[in-house]
Structure 1
Amino acid sequence: MTEHAPKKAVVTAGTGGIGLETALGLARQGWDVTVVARDEGRGEAAVAHLDEASGRRAGRFVRADLSSLAETRRLGERLADEGALDLLVNNVGGMWTGRRENPEGIEASIALNHLSPRVLTEALLDALAAAAPSRIVNVTSSAIAAAQTVFDDAEPPGPHYGLAVTGRAKLAHLAYSMELAERLEPRGIAVLAADPGAAATDNASHMTIDILPPALRPHWEQIQQGVSAPVASAAKSPLAAATDPALEGRTGLVVGPAGTVDDTLLAFVTPELSEAVRTWTAKLMATVAQAS
């Protein structure tokens, strides 16, 4: 009997937190997993974990700074040249108390939570189509509920509150994901969003109350309790979105923290918002192209 080659997955920000737990789950299920991140030491450690979890050589580390759109584009070209890809998990993201910028001068949470995964995804569409039926899993967040839904300018009006800015970027990417699902369905590529819920990630451990808009600050203690959940349990959602046979042939869905379909966050994605996000994203990408 002919042995089938393992399916191939790419997991961004896969050397720690939810990304590593997702990669480990895939490796245990027989996948070959490429984890992408910046730190070589963490990358080597992640590959060792993947190989140990699977009992074989299942892991590979590729270094890239995904906050840089230019570097993300180069990564996409490299991975695309390797041929068919069964799964892309866009797990990379970030939320900070203070405002930061990426190397192209874009506010960092917008770059990491929306533009970078968009650039990588578009670069890998032919590779994903070559492995169809294949899946794209975009990790989303309930921070969407705190988003400022104004997309007239690059950044939302008023003071910078990390939760609201990140929620806005995640909302933009969810709107993009739903449009992408419709566009890619004829090519056999399913697009699913995964909401892992709150968890004790490295990013969450650096949060301070200043990350919240003033109206949410009375709930700070409750929010801190929420982000104390084990990271391993938070991987249930992206793993289900990536591998659950019950989702075969389905697209344009959100998989909630319980690992089942949950359309709560889709209530924020209206046709008007999707149009605003499309225009806003095009302006941002044009600005990046002019600067490069």
Structure 2
Amino acid sequence: MAFIACNMSDQHGRIFLVTGANTGIGLEIAKALAVKGARVLMGCRDSVKAHAAMDQIRAATPGADLAYVPLDQADISSVRQAADQAAAEPRLDVLINNAGIMIPPLARTAQGAESQFGVNHLGTFALTALLLPKLARTDGARVVVTSSLAHRQGRMMWDNLNAENGYHNSRFYGQSKLANLLFMLELDRRLRAAGSPVRAIGCHPGVSLTELMRHLPSWTKPLLPIMRPMFNPVAAAAWPALQAATDPNAEGGDYYGPQGFLEMRGRSGPARVEKHAHDLGDARRLWAVSIELTGVDPQLAPA
């Protein structure tokens, strides 16, 4: 059955960490979880924006159980601090890796990585790895990793991973979103091999007009109102992540996205994973490179 937010069961007693929760899809995820009674840890870079988002949620859902977790995925030291704060919670049921950036000008993280690979993948990898021991204490715990339709065109540029030999913003975005899926699938294989109770599940939001699109070329801006009927409303764009996080029928390694035209919009359900996202060689190489670049090792052997 296709999934929408109202399909979620009661979430009282469960704790979720949602990254990038102060705006766009992350905010919609947090809103939906709060309505169902979950405690939501809102991982955000900006304190002012985070608290404004929390006020917005509480206005709609009085008594919503929320907490701000300072998190900048462009800095592994911030990721470590956020993981420490989340690990101090009584439990952690689900980590929803939603935060990301899309097609910015060339920039680098605090540790020197190309920003899209650094924020979208390395920050996700490090936060997940640091929280796996906490998650493993809760039966049915999940890690949700957000990819994109862009993974279909993405390729790992092993000879130019850090944009030292040239930069094309959309190619590096596609690479980062492919990395998200390679990581999710490899993580789930390793968790299963280790006998862990944690499962990794992927999702993508389709195409939605959010702040993520602020770096689109200026010539595209007049076209957006014309194309709006093809895009996913922001609340609906949150449904795949919510399904991955809460659907009792979801299993490790599943991938969810919109069921409408070209997976761009609509109710959530199983989504298509491109063949190259199943490449075991790339997945293991990415795992090793991620440990090297973050200094964080999940301590999980290959399946």
Residues 22-64 of structure 1: CA distance to partner in whole angstroms, max 9, x if unpaired? 1111111111101111212211121123323333232221222
Query: Structure with the greater relative contact order (CA < 8 A, sep ≥ 6): 1 or 2?
Result: 2
Letter aligned with residue 168 of structure 2: Y
- 1:176-255 counterparts in 2 under 5 A? 176-185=183-192, 186-208=195-217, 225=227, 228-247=231-250, 250-255=251-256
Correspondent of 2:22 among 15, 34, 39: 15
Partner secondary structure for residue 26 of structure 1: helix
Shift, 1:156, TM fit:
5.5
Residues 118-174 of structure 1: CA distance to partner in whole angstroms, max 9, x if unpaired? 111111112111112111111111111232333234336854221210111121121
Alpha-carbon contact 1:253-1:263 (below 8 Å) kept: no
Residue in 1 aligned with 2:273?
264
Instruction: Name the CA distance, whole Å, in 1 between partners of 2:144 and 2:124.
Output: 10
Letter aligned with residue 6 of structure 1: G
Letter aligned with residue 188 of structure 1: P
Shift, 1:222, TM fit:
8.5
Provide closer, same or farther for how the CA distance between residues 278 and 126 of structure 1 changes in structure 2, counting only shifts above 3 A: closer
Matched, 1:61 2:68: yes
Shift, 1:273, TM fit:
2.0
Partner secondary structure for residue 130 of structure 1: coil
Alpha-carbon contact 2:204-2:256 (below 8 Å) kept: yes
Residue in 2 aligned with 1:214?
none
Correspondent of 2:131 among 114, 120, 124: 124
Instruction: Name the CA distance, whole Å, in 2 between partners of 1:206 and 1:223.
Output: 17
Residue in 1 aligned with 2:294?
285
Alpha-carbon contact 1:254-1:266 (below 8 Å) kept: no
Instruction: Name the CA distance, whole Å, in 2 between partners of 1:223 and 1:117.
Output: 32
Alpha-carbon contact 1:142-1:265 (below 8 Å) kept: no
Matched, 1:89 2:119: no
Alpha-carbon contact 2:103-2:172 (below 8 Å) kept: no
Shift, 1:9, TM fit:
0.5
Letter aligned with residue 73 of structure 1: R
Letter aligned with residue 216 of structure 2: M
Provide closer, same or farther for how the CA distance between residues 13 and 125 of structure 1 changes in structure 2, counting only shifts above 3 A: same
Matched, 1:113 2:116: no
Structure 1 or 2: larger helix share? 1
Runs of 5+ consecutive residues of structure 1 not aligned to the other structure: 211-216, 288-292
Letter aligned with residue 156 of structure 2: T
Number of aligned residues: 274
Instruction: Name the CA distance, whole Å, in 1 between partners of 2:164 and 2:201.
Output: 30
Shift, 1:264, TM fit:
2.8
Residue in 1 aligned with 2:57?
50
